[in-house]
A and B are shown apart, each in its own frame.
Chain A
Amino acid sequence: MAENKGIMIYGELIEGKLAPITSELLGGGRHLADQLKEELLCILVGDKIDDAAKKAISFGADKVYTVEDPLLKDYQTDSYVAVMEKAAKEISPRAILFGQTAVGRDLAPRLAFRLGTALAMDCMELAVDPASKLLQETRSVYGGNARATFSSDLLPQMVTVRQKAMTPLAPDDAKKGEVAAIKADLDPAKIRTKVLDTVKEEVAGVKLEDASIIVAGGRGIGGPEGFKQLEELAKIVKGAVGASRPPSDNKWVPESWQIGLTGKIVSPDVYIAVAISGASQHLAGCSGAKTIIAINKDPEANIFKEARFGVVGDWKQVLPAFTQKVKELVAG
């Protein structure tokens, strides 16, 4: 078998275009490849890959592999694992990085077991051990109560990376790179699933995963009406509204608003936690935020251990004044 070389990014596409996680992985992968003095590779899989290969090069890839086939229109475990197995064996990279997304968390484990290698999911930090050239993979465990650093000497090393854990490079359209096509060679009889329907819940305004500011409410909000006030603040700061588990379980807000181990994992610049106590399983979803701001009436609430700024007080009194002042500041 060929020597394992290069850091390969699985470049997730959304309707033929690079997904935001792909440019993040290319940014993080570039640093790793530079430390190893090896190439940054990117593989794009889909039914129509427009100019995504060029874009991947502009975001840092040295070489892009494309696998185009009508059978790859929708993500399906069997077809994508088969294609990636073939590509991984042909290309023989040192490591493969995926995003921790609906696709990555399904594709990566099954592929790792097929390739007989080890995988670390939902990594927050990757480092290169200079002596062994192996990646050291740090991820959150125990619902965010702890972190663990893993490694494995089985190649290729595989990881999925939490969204927003890595930063994209500024795109450079002048950057040169190579593009190579790989044949899918799929046998339709071996695809044992069928996508019957895709149902999208429409989100008004900014999506949680893309928001740089999130206003989130907890059990203390008390009901759906309270969330209207959070929405007002979110609108002013062009942010999104989220929730901890109790409001979602109590159906005060849609399921898709839930942030935490059992919901979405977000890493905004600013996370305003209103009436959220700060259970570990919730913090697992928001501890990647750059600045956490807490409004809670309980001075002992765990959220104050995570927060950079806070107010101890009843949100019903604190929030309207806060929102009003923010409105003035933003307008001014």
Chain B
Amino acid sequence: MPLNMIVCCKQILDPEDPPASFKIDPASNKVIPPPGVAPVVSPFDEQAVEAALKIKDQQGGKITVISLGNNLLRDVVKKPLSMGADELILLEDPAFEGGDSWSTAFALAAAIKKVGPFDIIFCGRQAADWDAGQVGSGIAEILGIPSVTVAKKVEAADGKAKVERVITDGYQVIEVTLPALITVSNELGEARYATLKGIMAASKKQPVVWKPADIGVEPSQIGEAGRKTKLLKLFQPVKEGKCEVIEADTPTDAGAKLAARLREAKVI
């Protein structure tokens, strides 16, 4: 049976950028984006798209992607389309900026209500920038639907989904009634690459852009204004001390010397 699926995708700074290029502006408590480095779709969200595509491959269906932000780069946010998603909705406005899990989930839930009936909403387990891990559960709570988090496999049949949920040293198989929200973890596996055909198709598609008024929310409820958490301080931890590099004539000697030094320092 074809399913109606929604995937929430966030545009973020590339988490694979080298740590040395990571800088913070302490005055504004904001990250300074490294110059000349393109943002990406958060990898967990790409895997959420992959989970939806796997179901679409099997039984057909429609995948609507929703991204929230301001000045979103079309080449970045269109990637799910080039992977095989069908539609892209952008919640794009300065008022959407600077949100926390609360204001983000609130806006996404309002947009999902406007999209209409769905079977499954997929989200990444967390965004790979703030790593908060709350938006998926928040959307489910606002919409009053069940949620299963940190999935590594999802199958759907007869109005239910069977989800393998990652737990410590293993997984649980959970059956959930649809409609439901499922957050996806990296154990699902690498997301597929965009095909040339997909890229061509995506380039012809125009995203639908919704403003706060289009989804019936007040600017005071979203973005910075809608936050429930206050960010007091964003900082880079000071690395304590320097590494004591053990020198010796040969690597073998260095290995033995390291062991002796660790014993001396009561580390082992």
Given contacts A110-B147, A192-B177, A293-B267, contact A152 B15 (CB under 8 A): no
Contact A196 B169 (CB under 8 A): no
- Taking CB as reference atom, which chain A residue is nearest B260? A325
Contact A311 B254 (CB under 8 A): yes
Contact B19 A146 (CB under 8 A): no
> Contact string, A295-331, partner B, CB cutoff 8 A, digits 1/0?
1000100101111111111100111111111100110
Contact A122 B173 (CB under 8 A): no
Contact A113 B138 (CB under 8 A): yes
Q: Which residues of B contact A198 (CB under 8 A)?
A: 167, 170-173
- Taking CB as reference atom, which chain A residue is nearest B241? A308
Residues 43-74 of B at the A interface (beta carbon under 8 Å): 43
Contact B141 A152 (CB under 8 A): no
Q: Which residues of B contact A142 (CB under 8 A)?
A: 13, 15, 22, 31, 129-131
Q: Which of A136, A151, A199 contacts B173 (CB 8 A)?
A: A199
Contact B129 A141 (CB under 8 A): yes
A255 within 8 A of B: yes
Contact B267 A201 (CB under 8 A): no
Cα A326 to Cα B185 with chains together (Å): 38
Q: Which residues of B contact A283 (CB under 8 A)?
A: 19
Contact B243 A304 (CB under 8 A): yes
- Taking CB as reference atom, which chain B residue is nearest A196? B173
Q: Which of B130, B146, B190, B237 contacts A77 (CB 8 A)?
A: B146
Cα A197 to Cα B170 with chains together (Å): 11
Residues 80-118 of A at the B interface (beta carbon under 8 Å): 101-102, 105-106, 109-110, 112-114, 117-118
> Contact string, B16-32, partner A, CB cutoff 8 A, digits 1/0?
10111010100000010
Distance (Å) between the CB of A15 and the closest chain B CB? 13
Given contacts A196-B174, A199-B171, contact A109 B19 (CB under 8 A): no
Q: Which residues of B contact A192 (CB under 8 A)?
A: 146, 176-177, 180
Given contacts A109-B101, A142-B131, contact A317 B24 (CB under 8 A): no
The winner among B24, B165, B251, B254 for most chain A CB atoms within 10 A is B251
Given contacts A102-B167, A142-B129, contact A117 B228 (CB under 8 A): yes
- Taking CB as reference atom, which chain B residue is nearest A103? B167
Cα A142 to Cα B130 with chains together (Å): 5
Contact B256 A207 (CB under 8 A): no
Given contacts A294-B243, A317-B252, contact A200 B22 (CB under 8 A): no
Contact B253 A143 (CB under 8 A): no
Contact A329 B259 (CB under 8 A): yes
A140 within 8 A of B: yes
Contact A143 B15 (CB under 8 A): yes
Q: Which of A195, A203, A311 contacts B246 (CB 8 A)?
A: A311
Contact B246 A146 (CB under 8 A): no
Cα A118 to Cα B99 with chains together (Å): 13
Cα A147 to Cα B22 with chains together (Å): 12
Contact A256 B251 (CB under 8 A): no
A279 within 8 A of B: yes
Q: Which of B24, B252, B258 contacts A309 (CB 8 A)?
A: B258
Residues 162-193 of B at the A interface (beta carbon under 8 Å): 162, 165-177, 180, 185-187, 190
Given contacts A140-B131, A322-B256, contact A147 B237 (CB under 8 A): yes
B11 within 8 A of A: no
B118 within 8 A of A: no
B128 within 8 A of A: yes
Q: Which residues of A contact B268 (CB under 8 A)?
A: 213, 237, 270, 326, 329-330
Cα A293 to Cα B268 with chains together (Å): 11
Distance (Å) between the CB of B40 and the closest chain A CB? 13
Residues 108-159 of B at the A interface (beta carbon under 8 Å): 128-134, 136-138, 140-142, 146-150
Contact A322 B134 (CB under 8 A): no
Q: Which residues of B contact A147 (CB under 8 A)?
A: 234-237
- Taking CB as reference atom, which chain A residue is nearest B133? A121
Q: Which residues of A contact B22 (CB under 8 A)?
A: 142, 145-146, 280
Q: Which residues of B contact A322 (CB under 8 A)?
A: 255-256, 258-259
Residues 156-177 of A at the B interface (beta carbon under 8 Å): none
The winner among B19, B130, B228 for most chain A CB atoms within 10 A is B19
Q: Which of B15, B138, B150, B262 contacts A105 (CB 8 A)?
A: B150
Contact A195 B237 (CB under 8 A): no
Distance (Å) between the CB of B133 and the closest chain A CB? 5
Cα A329 to Cα B264 with chains together (Å): 10
- Taking CB as reference atom, which chain B residue is nearest A287? B237
Given contacts A141-B234, A306-B239, contact A122 B228 (CB under 8 A): no
Contact B241 A122 (CB under 8 A): no
Contact A113 B229 (CB under 8 A): no
Contact A77 B252 (CB under 8 A): no
Q: List 20 A–B pairs whose Cβ atoms lie within 8 Å, in order of A's numbering.
A: A102-B165, A109-B133, A110-B141, A110-B147, A151-B229, A192-B176, A193-B148, A193-B175, A198-B167, A256-B169, A262-B43, A281-B128, A308-B243, A310-B244, A310-B246, A311-B251, A311-B255, A318-B258, A329-B259, A330-B268
The 3 A-B pairs with the shortest beta carbon distances in the complex, nearest first, are: A321-B255, A325-B259, A313-B251
Contact surface of B with A, Cβ cutoff 8 Å: 13, 15-16, 18-20, 22, 24, 31, 43, 100-102, 105, 128-134, 136-138, 140-142, 146-150, 162, 165-177, 180, 185-187, 190, 228-237, 239, 241, 243-246, 250-256, 258-263, 265, 267-268
Given A196-B174, A198-B172, 9 more pairs with CB closer than 8 A: A77-B149, A101-B168, A154-B228, A198-B171, A261-B15, A270-B267, A299-B245, A308-B241, A323-B255
